[in-house]
Amino acid sequence: MVRRIGVLTGGGDCPGLNAVLRAVVRTAMGRYGWEVIGFRDGYRGLVMNEYVRFKDSDVSGILDKGGTILGTSNRDNPFHFRIDRGNSVEYKDMSERVIDNIYMHGIDCLVIIGGDGTLTSARDFARKGVKVVGVPKTIDNDLSATDLTFGFRTAVDTATDAIDKLHTTAESHHRVMILEVMGRYAGWIALESGIAGGADVILIPEIPYEMQKVCNKILERKRAGKHFSIVVVAEGAKEKGGEMVVSKIVENSPDPVRLGGIGNKVAEEIEKMIGVETRVAVLGHLQRGGRPIPFDRILSTRYGVAAVELISEEKFGMMVSLKGSEMTAVSLEDAVGSLKTVPPDGELVKIAKSVGVSFGD
């Protein structure tokens, strides 16, 4: 019989995290009478035993709040945990301490909310016999085992609003305006915001571009009397035969590569090749922050309720998943390890090309 569950948020923050926490706490406490313990700052809280015992009032008024009231971390892997010792650093497998803390609190199941890295550790704990349920989270929408992740639509909304604003200044100054958006190795944010915002060129990782073809699109518009262009670039986009642009390497991070800078690279090439004044806006972490739109609040709530229902059905080692319009579940073994990327010949790419968008291919 389940009496107490734990919950944590890991990885990067994302609009809708608080809505998931609210749904988990209220469903667990109100419907099933379970206690809920929240661990602070992702897996770090599990290792260091830093936690809060939730009351219903703790999740009151957080449905529309960005970020996560529990805090999060994308660097603390319990299976390779950083320990500072004065002038030296060492890494240890702290998974057994995590298991000890779980048993000490009498936690019957752990709800782990996160992206691919966080859920990979959840899978590893499941392999060790820990009862876990996963909730998929990423603004990149790149998890293959679910059709949609919460936070993605809010990120697209933020990017689309930025494109709308860039249109006016681009038209006023007869410039090319480039918007660089997040997405890591998937181009979903760039593709959907670019279509919604009326971009003229969309560059995504899945379709390597040729710089001359990008410039040809800009010149084509000029000949048609349109003296400005909007280019949306995913941070993972790359030139045909080239590599992704890396802004820095964060040592000992689960994903050490930090992408960034492709917008400036494309701008420099446009000015050099065709002499058109070009400016760059990097949207960055604005896509992660702020209030989730109503769609994501509802989706997050559905995910949180579904996670608790999986526990009540004793379906452990699973991740809640949206398939079509239905909330389902898949095993954590099947949920991690492969990314969902944009199909180059998929419907959205075809739609964009039909209305005149260039992908530089």
For this structure, is 161 an active site residue? no
Please state, in angstroms and as integers, the Cα–Cα distance from residue 12 to each residue in 74, 263, 331, following that order. Answer: 6, 22, 23
- The four Cα atoms 300, 316, 311, 298 give a dihedral, to 10 degrees, of 10
- Torsions phi, psi for 134 (to 5 deg): -105, 150
Token duo for residue 24: 């988990």
| Residue 273: alpha-carbon gap to chain centroid | 35
Residue type, 356: G
Instruction: Determine which one of 76, 108, 116, 140 is catalytic.
Output: 140
Instruction: Please tell me the distance from the alpha carbon of residue 157 to that of residue 172, in angstroms, as a whole number.
Output: 24
Q: Which of 100, 104, 151 is nearest to 125 (CA)?
A: 100
Least Cα distance to 327 among 27, 11, 122, 12 occurs for 27
CA atoms within 13 A on the CB side of 341: 16
Closest listed residue to residue 319, CA positions, set 141, 61, 119, 155: 119
Active site amino acids: 140
